[in-house]
Amino acid sequence: MGKLNVNLCGIPLDNPVIPASGTFGYGYEFAEWYDINRLGTFSFKGTTREPRFGNPTPRIAECESGMLNAVGLQNPGVRAVIEEELPRLQACFHKPVMANISGFSVEEYREVAQALSECEQVGWLEVNISCPNVHGGGMAFGTSPKAAGEVVRAVRAVTKKPLIVKLSPNVTSIQDMAKACEAEGADAISLINTLLGMRIDLKRKAPVLANTMGGFSGPAVFPVALRMVWQVYDAVKVPVIGMGGVSTAEDVVEMMLAGATAVEVGAANLVNPYASLEIIEHLPEVMERCGIESLEDIIGGAHRT
C-alpha cells in the first residue's frame, strides 16, 4: 500500500485528511460514530475569547452543489474550551489537535492564542482572519494584507507552536495576503475559507438567511479553491493546507498536486459524518490507480510538469 503519511510544520500526520473547523465540533461528537484517531488530525470549532451564541436563525441554506452558512462563530468561549471541551476530547483522541481561533480585535486574537498555546493537546494554531475588525470599521482582517499581518505578528509573539493562517477567498490578490502572513511569521497557510453568497426566498421575496449573506461552501467552490492553492504555493515557501469543496479522495490528490501538504474537508462532513473517514479509506485505491507511491512526493507535483 502507498504511503499516506505527511509532515505538517514538523508534526507527523498518518494521512493528510483534516476535518475543517466548524464542521467537526470539538471532535468527541464524531467519536460516537468511528475512531477519530484514524484522521490525520482535525481543526476544532472556531473559538473566541467570550462565549458566542452566533447569528439569528435561519442561518443555514442549501444550494445546488453546496450550502450557505451564517452561524456566526457560535462557541462556548476559550475558557470553557480549555476546561470542558479539551478534557472530553482527550478521552477519545490521542493525537495533537488543531485549534482554530477567531477574534474581533488584535488583542482578542492574542489572548485566545496565548491561552490555547498553553494546552499540551494543541499541536497547531489555525488563525481564522475572516472576522470583522470591530476597531477598524468592520472590514475583515483577511481582506487587508496590513491588518492580516498585524494579527499574525501579535499571535506569533505569544506562541511557539506552529501558526497556520486561514485565508478568505474574498480578496483581490490571495498571493499578497499569503505573503503578508508569511512575512510576519506564519508557519503555514490554509485556504480557502468560504466565499460570500446569498439566496432569496421567492415566496417571502426576502433573503433566506436572517443575516442576508453567508459563507458558500461545498463541491461548487472546489475549482476556485484549487486555483488559489496553486497560486499560494507559488507565492510562499511555507506549507499550504488546501480546502474548499473537497469531498473525495481524488479531490485530496488534486489539491496536493496543486501544492497542498494537507487537505481539510468541510461541508462534506455535514452531509455525511463518515465523509473524512471514507476519503482516507479510498486514498490507497486512488494512489494505486494514479501510480502514486507516497503522497509526500506529489506535493506541488503539477507545478513540475
CATH code: domain of residue 59: 3.20.20.70
Question: Does residue 142 form part of some domain?
Answer: yes
Please tell me the total count of domains within the chain. 1
Domain that holds residue 250: 6-304
Question: Does residue 82 form part of some domain?
Answer: yes
Burial (Cβ within 10 Å: 0-12, 13-18, ≥19) of residue 227? middle
Amino acid 302: pLDDT: 98
Question: Does residue 1 form part of some domain?
Answer: no
**Structure-block grid coordinates of residue 118:** 498553553
Measured CA to CA, the distance from residue 259 to residue 110 in angstroms comes to: 29
Measured CA to CA, the distance from residue 235 to residue 260 in angstroms comes to: 13
Question: Does residue 205 form part of some domain?
Answer: yes
Taking a C-beta distance cutoff of 8 angstroms, is the pair 219, 271 a contact?
A: no
Amino acid 132: pLDDT: 64
Amino acid 159: pLDDT: 98
Helices (H), the chain: 78-80, 86-90, 106-117, 145-156, 174-183, 222-235, 249-258, 267-271, 275-290
Question: Does residue 18 form part of some domain?
Answer: yes
Question: Does residue 163 form part of some domain?
Answer: yes
Amino acid 1: pLDDT: 73
At residue 49, the 3 state secondary structure works out as coil
Amino acid 130: pLDDT: 85
Per-residue pLDDT in tens (0 to 9) along the chain, 305 residues: 789 999 999 999 999 999 999 999 999 999 999 999 999 999 999 999 999 999 999 999 999 999 999 999 999 999 999 999 999 999 999 999 999 999 999 999 999 999 999 999 999 999 999 876 556 555 689 999 999 999 999 999 999 999 999 999 999 999 999 999 999 999 999 999 999 999 999 999 999 999 999 999 999 999 999 999 999 999 999 999 999 999 999 999 999 999 999 999 999 999 999 999 999 999 999 999 999 999 999 999 999 87
Active site residues: 131
Question: Does residue 192 form part of some domain?
Answer: yes
Question: Does residue 37 form part of some domain?
Answer: yes
Indicate the pTM of the whole model.
0.96
